[in-house]
Structure 1
Amino acid sequence: MAKTTGLGSSTLDSEPRLRDSHPVINKAFILGAGLGTRLRPLTEVCPKPLVPIWHEPMANHALRHCQNAGIDHFAINTHHLPEKWHETYPEDSFNGSSLQFFHEPTLLDTGGGLRNITHFIGSDPILVYNGDILTDIDIRRLIRQHEQSNNLATLALRSSGDNCNVNISGEQVTDMRNLLATTPGTHQFTGIYCINPGILDLIPEGEVVSIVPAFIELIQRQQLGAVVLDEGDWCDIGTPEAYRAVHQKLRNTHPDPIHPEAIIHPDATIDSCIIGPGAKIGAHARLQNCIVWPGVHVPSERSASDSILCH
């Protein structure tokens, strides 16, 4: 897991967002349709991007991060438990920005999902943002570099990580996943990138297809850019262990591990827990080092330690 200490206010607080005065990109596509199999059993009750991080859905942090870079219009693809998205955002909006949902009865993968929102993209460049990451990297720098280039896509990369499978030369990607048989990768892809609508011509319509073949075609055309964003933090919330680890890190920088709207019986024993809004802890319950999701009812006499209580 990449470092997570001190994840910044751009993603995790509720302060008023700061806007670029002249945003280059004002649309983003949040990838929300994955099954989240590695994060089971947490994803049996909600889609992976809606798993709560420090009292609110992980997707909120991504949306706020994008808003801070001047983005106001969002597309989100759905598949697993799509009704949970509408329960979370019943007005199809977040903090004043519009949300447009694109349901995929059959998962279309990263390329097919992008092709499926062609009408949303129109003639505009957009930011694409994986819905299962928590980060405060400088996406404004990514957007600026993309605008100043002639690339059809620009990837945000890290120079270290657990999955370094991207090669670069200067500000261009030269290979990924060793598909062009160059050398082992040197950089990790963050799951965040900018595209121009011309990339859609490289993605077949109505097919289940990854975005990677389109990226390989752009590499061969020298039209796949790269920007290395090592400042700030980045974490893939891929497993229950990673989920617990990021919460332990957030304890160092974020107040109120017990949300003020949690209801805790005075006879309950709580030690080093993170408890979400609307959670109810019954009499004589004993919890140690637990994460209790918003709205969860922990019955009287229940004992748990080192657990994630999600239903």
Structure 2
Amino acid sequence: MIRKAFLLGAGLGTRLRPLTDILPKPLVPLFHRPLVEWAMKACAAAGVEEFAINTHHLPLMWRMEDGGWLMRDGKGTGLVGGNGLVAKSAVWEGMPVQLFQEDNLLETGGGIKNIEAWVGEDDVLVHNGDIYSSLPLEKLMEAHQASGNVVTLALRSEGVAKHIAVEDGQVFDIRNMLGKAEGTHVFSGIYIFSPELLEKIPAGEKVSVIPAFLELAKEGKLGGVVLDEGVWFDLGDAESYLAAHRELGMADAIHPDAIISPEAVVERSVVGPGAVIGAGAVVRDSVVWPGVEVKSGRVVEGEIVCK
């Protein structure tokens, strides 16, 4: 079983502005929970007991004492990232979380290299911070541990970005970068790596993880498992964010702490805790964030009301 998970939380979230002017993208609410918390719950259900998260944009919003989300555990940590940044410790539902702040963005490869001390000798589940999925992560874990591969990617058969070429459980090309195939499957943004991956990523550099993946593909050590069960959403832009709230239906759409005038109309919408919908207001096919007021008489259709 995989006991550690690394959540990618350092992106700027430019496609999701203005929401990400207020919160880091992984902390944007999805059905009244931060998006990243859905990923953490899925990882924990599959057996993960310890988390690391890389942060960059609006880092104080991750800490409850600063108005953020994670509880501080009051303990120091000796973990130091590859670029010399010391990890800060926190707690989520009783499980330890190490926050690795990247003052300068390190990209997908550099971010992983930066947590090398935390990884130690363990295999790690990596989960992109801006996706929601109910993929069977246990199957990914089983496939990785049975394969002997250094990295195993979770793939989907359908989607708009079929960049991964895979056959018999082995990935042999990505976007035809090795001259073998354009791709047959979609990368979900979820994968597992063994510590050997870190040997292929230079220290202290801003670098993508893709060159390391390609090197592993050449060596026959990059695996892929197709997980078409469950749902998968990339919530990287406003349209997909609204679509997820329309289609998932994961919790009560109207939070019990929302205040809605009996003279207001709310249809097919999600309204967060502490939100206020005034008399005569109309809210349709929209998401209203926690604590936000929709004033009396306002008409909101197909919008994200975040401030």
Moved over 6 A (4+): none
CA distance in 2, matches of 1:284, 1:157: 47
Asked if 1:200 corresponds to 2:198, the answer is yes
Which of the numbers 39, 45, 51 marks the counterpart of 2:28?
51
Which of the numbers 252, 256, 277 marks the counterpart of 1:256?
252
Gapped regions of structure 2 (runs ≥ 5): 73-89
CA deviation after TM superposition for structure 1 residue 102, in Å: 0.4
In structure 1, the partner of 2:179 is: 181
In structure 1, the partner of 2:6 is: 29
Which of the numbers 57, 61, 66 marks the counterpart of 1:80?
57
Q: Report the number of matched residues.
A: 286
> What TM-score do the two structures reach when normalised by structure 1?
0.88
3-state SS of paired residue (1:148): helix
In structure 2, the partner of 1:10 is: none
Quick one: percent identity of the two aligned structures?
49
Q: How does 1:272-311 map onto structure 2 within 5 Å?
A: 272-311=268-307
Q: Deviations over 1:87-127 (max 9, x none)?
A: 11133222222111000011100000000011110111110
CA deviation after TM superposition for structure 1 residue 49, in Å: 1.0
CA deviation after TM superposition for structure 1 residue 303, in Å: 2.9
Counterpart code for 2:119: I
Give the conservation status (yes or no) of the 8 Å contact 2:19–2:306: yes
Which of the numbers 101, 104, 110 marks the counterpart of 1:103?
101
Counterpart code for 2:7: I
Q: Deviations over 1:267-297 (max 9, x none)?
A: 3332332101121223333323221011212
Which of the numbers 116, 128, 136 marks the counterpart of 1:138?
136
CA deviation after TM superposition for structure 1 residue 215, in Å: 0.4
Q: Deviations over 1:234-284 (max 9, x none)?
A: 111121111111111124xx4521110112233333233210112122333
Gapped regions of structure 1 (runs ≥ 5): 1-23
In structure 1, the partner of 2:78 is: none
Relative contact order (C-alpha < 8 Å, sep 6+): which is higher? Answer: 1
RMSD: 1.3
Counterpart code for 1:81: L
In structure 2, the partner of 1:90 is: 71
CA distance in 1, matches of 2:71, 2:276: 24
Which of the numbers 138, 147, 155 marks the counterpart of 2:153?
155
Give the conservation status (yes or no) of the 8 Å contact 2:171–2:217: yes
